[in-house]
């Protein structure tokens, strides 16, 4: 691997700072979920979308007490909003769906639209409206079209904002660094197909769930694809050398990454190995992996 770059996507979320409330366009205001961390960065981006006094909220945050006053401030000062029309969710991970009960309690019950994931949607309450690929959600000044993008989560929807040729990418594409492919509900082969589907839309801007807006949207998606292809080739090379232990792979591939991030890197390596297994290019023997002949 010494004659190749060790990574393509640079940087990570550690130490990244963003405003709690920020207007990103005439119809998009972001409010941070107040859940900072190594994997969430400054926190989960939630979005007030539309130009009416009842905008929709895209993703609800994690339910942190500090979030609700900021959401209400953004509604009042940025949108002159009297309330919300609905909540629209990218997927059921806790930092995206967990704020629904808090918002319902404070602002009243509104419909919650998402692709169902049985057993994971409890926080949406009884107001869940099932949607899927191609669903159109309209609010004054904005039209969203759901784009099914599994890989990070089996229920993941991105949303195409027609008026801006913009993409709300949830956790499929992040403003900084790369996303995790979890072992529960994640699938790298699906994820790569999702990236290629987003690229085919030729978006002008990406509004991610973590980190700043991405103005070179197609360039970022291509970078994500190339990064994953490089990681896969690194794993194939290691398997060819007879190195089949995930921990040893992580030590070699992620030498430039802080040690406390190595468990997450291990999750990424295993996701690549499962993809190779599905393709018949790798096989598992207990805790070790080997290339197929």
Distances (CA, A) of 26 to 6, 22, 124, 200, 265: 40, 11, 28, 25, 38
Q: pLDDT tens, 107-131?
A: 999 999 999 999 999 999 888 999 9
Q: What is the CATH number of the domain that holds 265?
A: 1.10.10.10
| 40 vs 39, residue with greater confidence | 40
Q: Say what the pTM is.
A: 0.94
For residues 245-268, give the mean pLDDT.
91
Query: Do the domain assignments include residue 123?
Result: yes
Tokens found for residue 239: 């398997």
- Mean residue pLDDT across the chain: 94
The residue among 134, 206, 217 whose CA lies nearest residue 171 is: 206
Q: What pLDDT is attached to residue 214?
A: 97
- pLDDT given at position 7: 65
Domain-located, residue 222: no
Q: What percent of the chain has pLDDT over 70?
A: 96
pLDDT at 60 over 60: yes
pLDDT of residue 10: 67
Asked if residue 199 lies in contact with residue 222, where contact means CB atoms within 8 angstroms, the answer is yes
pLDDT band at residue 16 using 50, 70 and 90 as cut-offs: confident
CA 269, CA 167: separation in Å to the nearest integer? 27
| Helix H or strand E segment including 270 | helix 262-278
The verdict on 93 and 235 lying in the same domain is: no
pLDDT at residue number 2: 47
User: How many folded domains does the chain comprise?
Assistant: 2
Looking at 190, 215, 240, which one is the last position of a domain?
A: 215
How wide is the angle at C-alpha 219 spanned by C-alphas 30 and 17, nearest 5°? 35
End-of-domain residue from the set 215, 239, 264: 215
CA atoms within 13 A on the CB side of 219: 5
Q: What is the pLDDT confidence band of residue 3, given thresholds at 50, 70 and 90?
A: low
Tell me: do 183 and 103 sit in the same domain.
yes
Half-sphere exposure of 126 (CA within 13 A, CB side): 2
Give 39's pLDDT tier (boundaries 50, 70, 90).
confident
Output DSSP code: residue 245.
B
* Cα–Cα distance, 124 to 135 (Å, whole number): 18
Same domain, 124 and 53: yes
Average pLDDT score over residue span 279-290: 94
Q: Write out the residue range of the structural domain in which residue 93 sits.
A: 21-215
Residue pair 241/205 in contact (Cβ under 8 Å)? The answer is: no
């Amino acid at each position: 691997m010494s004659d190749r770059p060790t990574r393509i996507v640079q940087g990570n979320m550690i130490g990244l700072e963003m405003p709690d409330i920020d207007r990103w366009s005439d119809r998009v205001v972001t409010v941070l979920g107040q859940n900072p961390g190594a994997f969430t960065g400054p926190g989960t981006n939630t979005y007030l979308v539309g130009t009416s006094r009842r905008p929709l909220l895209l993703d609800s945050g994690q339910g942190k007490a500090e979030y609700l006053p900021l959401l209400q401030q953004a509604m009042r000062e940025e949108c002159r909003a009297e309330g919300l029309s609905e909540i629209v969710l990218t997927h059921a991970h806790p930092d995206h769906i967990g704020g629904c009960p808090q918002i319902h309690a404070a602002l009243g019950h509104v419909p919650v639209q998402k692709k169902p994931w049985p057993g994971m949607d409890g926080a949406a309450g009884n107001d869940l409206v099932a949607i899927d690929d191609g669903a159109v959600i309209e609010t004054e000044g904005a039209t969203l079209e759901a784009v099914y993008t599994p890989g990070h989560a089996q229920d993941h929807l991105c949303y195409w904002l027609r008026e801006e040729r913009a993409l709300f990418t949830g956790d499929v594409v992040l403003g900084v660094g790369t996303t995790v492919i979890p072992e529960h509900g994640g699938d790298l082969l699906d994820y790569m197909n999702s990236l290629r589907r987003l690229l085919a839309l030729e978006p002008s801007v990406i509004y991610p769930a973590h980190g700043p807006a991405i103005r070179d949207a197609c360039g970022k998606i291509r970078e994500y694809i190339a990064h994953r292809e490089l990681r896969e080739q690194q794993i194939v090379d290691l398997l060819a050398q007879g190195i089949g232990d995930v921990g040893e792979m992580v030590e070699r591939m992620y030498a430039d990454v802080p040690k406390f991030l190595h468990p997450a890197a291990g999750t990424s390596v295993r996701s690549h190995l499962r993809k190779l297994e599905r393709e018949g290019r790798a096989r598992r023997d207990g805790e070790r992996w080997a290339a197929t002949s």
